[in-house]
Amino acid sequence: MVEGSASRRRTLLCVGLDTDMTKFPADRGSGTDAQFLINREVIDGTKDHAAAFKLNMAFYESEGEEGSRAMSRTVSYIREAAPECIAILDGKKGDIGNTSEAYARAAFVTMNAHSVTLNGYMGSDAVCPFSTYKDRLSFVLCRTSNKSAGQLQDRGAPGEPVFISMAKLVRSWNTNGNLGLVVGATFPDELKAVRSEVGPDMLVLVPGVGAQGGDLGKVLDMGTNGRGSGVLINVSRDIMFAFQRPQNMGRGIEECAREAALDYKERIRSHLEALGRW
């Protein structure tokens, strides 16, 4: 699904819809439809340059019933207005088997999302109920971009930290070919190790480029396969809040998001061409 869209549209960009309503001006951050209307502007501005949109569920759940409606409407709008893009619900779910089955129904049936992020700490019981939906994608946390991630993820036997063990497990669970991994852009050497472990075809969702300081070039060097694919590079704040840059003051959300997304798309393309992978 993603590989085909990325190849046809020549983009690896995932636009993060981290729609934190506390960060918007008062005239945009209020009203029952405000969150969805902001998302619609960002989607309209970036859909020609993106392969995916990722909704961080915390920013919707924190808005109560209105946020839940905005999340559902946003997924529907992505399917309608950007049919070649996928909608990822970033909730990092994962629980005992029957609970994960319910989470999977919520994401893939009720919300009709294309994809989710999962926490695989509880093992295959937490992950496999999602992968039974053969036309949907699930990304399992592997080596995350937050500063304290190494407290657990770097531990383990010499030569095999926990994040490598997780990569191996997800590879073994991937019987339907619809599991991927989450590896943060702030750890390019670990991304290289994961790519080596899982082979060229497993899709890796890479957050952390932009505001978190991940190096785009290193992500492309370490994470892409010989076809210049295999990763989705998520950028959230640098695109959604591009309108807040000093040089963009007075300009609209949609216009600024479009320019920022195009810039990332072109930077990705240029780097992969230099590597001979595009």
Report the catalytic residues.
92
242-251 as b/e, with b when 16 or more CB fall inside 10 Å?
A: bbeeeebeee
For the record, the structure tokens of 225 come out as: 């396969």
With contact defined as beta carbons under 8 Å apart, do 139 and 115 qualify?
Answer: yes
Residue 120's nearest CA partner among 155, 189, 171, 69 is 171
- For residue 20, the SS3 value is coil
140-149 as b/e, with b when 16 or more CB fall inside 10 Å?
A: bbbbbbeeeb
Bridge partners for 205 per DSSP: 182, 232
With contact defined as beta carbons under 8 Å apart, do 121 and 101 qualify?
Answer: no
Bridge partners for 181 per DSSP: 140, 204
